[in-house]
């Protein structure tokens, strides 16, 4: 059996979130997760989306929309980074893994429910099963919040 590409993508997202939190500190990792929540709110209520998407075609338009989302997330991250404080004295790898899991779950929820990500990468049907149903968005958003709260 060949190792599925979807698992590698998810493990890559997890590795990025975990390593960022481990090397930069818990407060920066939590700031990234919270900035993604703020970016979701701003992105879904952005009134100038048609004027801001200047590229045409499925893939360029998707990349343009992802860029707008990332711009919102970066602005909120730099704002939150000044106010979210954590314990810098300890570099606990297990806490970094938990923040990485929260980051991964939130990124997957954003890919499935917020951004038009299918032209960039489309997950297979085994992963799609985890994101079907009426209440899945709620649980995919509450899970990262709970992890951040308890870390």
Segment 109-116 shows an average pLDDT of: 91
Q: How confident is the model at residue 22 (pLDDT cuts 50, 70, 90)?
A: very high
SS3 114: helix
Does the predicted model carry a pTM greater than 0.85? Answer: yes
Q: How confident is the model at residue 124 (pLDDT cuts 50, 70, 90)?
A: confident
Alpha helices for 45-135 (secondary structure H): 49-52, 58-81, 93-109, 125-128
Beta carbons within 8 Å of 76's beta carbon, 6+ residues apart:
34, 35, 38, 39, 42
For residue 21, give every residue at least 6 positions away whose Cβ sits within 8 Å of its Cβ, in sequence order, or none: 28, 29, 32, 95, 96, 99, 100, 103
């Amino acid at each position: 059996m060949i190792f599925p590409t979807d698992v590698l993508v998810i493990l890559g997202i997890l590795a990025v979130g975990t390593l960022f939190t481990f090397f930069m500190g818990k407060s920066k990792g939590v700031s990234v997760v919270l900035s993604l929540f703020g970016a979701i709110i701003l992105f879904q209520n952005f009134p100038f989306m048609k004027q801001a998407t200047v590229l045409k075609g499925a893939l360029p338009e998707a990349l343009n929309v992802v860029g707008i989302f990332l711009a919102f997330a970066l602005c909120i991250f730099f704002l939150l980074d000044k106010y979210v404080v954590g314990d810098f004295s300890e570099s606990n790898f297990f806490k970094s893994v938990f923040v990485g899991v929260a980051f991964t779950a939130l990124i997957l929820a954003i890919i499935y429910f917020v951004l038009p990500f299918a032209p960039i990468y489309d997950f297979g049907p085994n992963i799609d099963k985890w994101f079907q149903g009426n209440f899945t968005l709620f649980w995919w958003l509450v899970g990262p919040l709970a992890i951040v709260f308890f870390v």
